[in-house]
A and B are shown apart, each in its own frame.
Chain A
Amino acid sequence: KNQVEQSPQSLIILEGKNCTLQCNYTVSPFSNLRWYKQDTGRGPVSLTIMTFSENTKSNGRYTATLDADTKQSSLHITASQLSDSASYICVVSIINTGTASKLTFGTGTRLQVTL
């Protein structure tokens, strides 16, 4: 069964600190992995998208890594800001074979950045 597991479920850090969120997946055949940021009450916004051959991608203070061999990804946030408080969702896409759903979503990590 295709699954995406994220850890931790929630995290509280002080402003200015770094943090790393984890994503493990069993999705196959793998197409790409995406990280989304979702503010409360809003739709998710894409941060990064990585294909099988990419092992790191950055978007400002956000850096995602991918190890396709171990089926693990991480999202590192540098010098956190209050505006980083949100849910971060890992989404893995399977190769489009006409199955019911191309995307498998993790349940997200809820990050709270405090003063």
Chain B
Amino acid sequence: KAGVTQTPRYLIKTRGQQVTLSCSPISGHRSVSWYQQTPGQGLQFLFEYFSETQRNKGNFPGRFSGRQFSNSRSEMNVSTLELGDSALYLCASSLAWGDGYEQYFGPGTRLTVT
């Protein structure tokens, strides 16, 4: 069974631009979560989607948004990029939404903002 895939793997953008990252969950998984990882802050939760609905949201500005499609694939968008948005963005999928469901992480998208 294929794991979680994220595209692109690496991305370089300029301040002020916007970016869209994509995540394909493991087949049969319906919940997708997004995380930002930086050396200083570690892993921080962005949002979680289940059945095309955002179920939880972390403490990030409105420039960070996401969506989930009917096939469970998910995208996240960051508008008006800032230097501080440079990070590894990780997507994780699980069978369903709720406690106890194991999360499987993708390899991440390394975003560099210059």
Contact = CB atoms under 8 A, between A and B. Distances in A.
13 contacts: A41-B108, A42-B107, A43-B90, A43-B105, A43-B108, A44-B105, A49-B102, A51-B100, A89-B43, A105-B42, A106-B42, A107-B42, A108-B42
B56 interface: yes
Interface in A71-115: 89, 91, 93, 95-96, 98-103, 105-108
Interface string B1-21: 000100000000000000000
A63 interface: no
A56 interface: no
A91 B44 CA distance: 11
Contacts of B56: 98-102
Contacts, number: 57
Interface residues of B, number: 25
A96 B98 contact: yes
Given A42-B108, A44-B105, A100-B59, A93 B45 contact: no
B92 interface: yes
Contacts of A96: 98-99
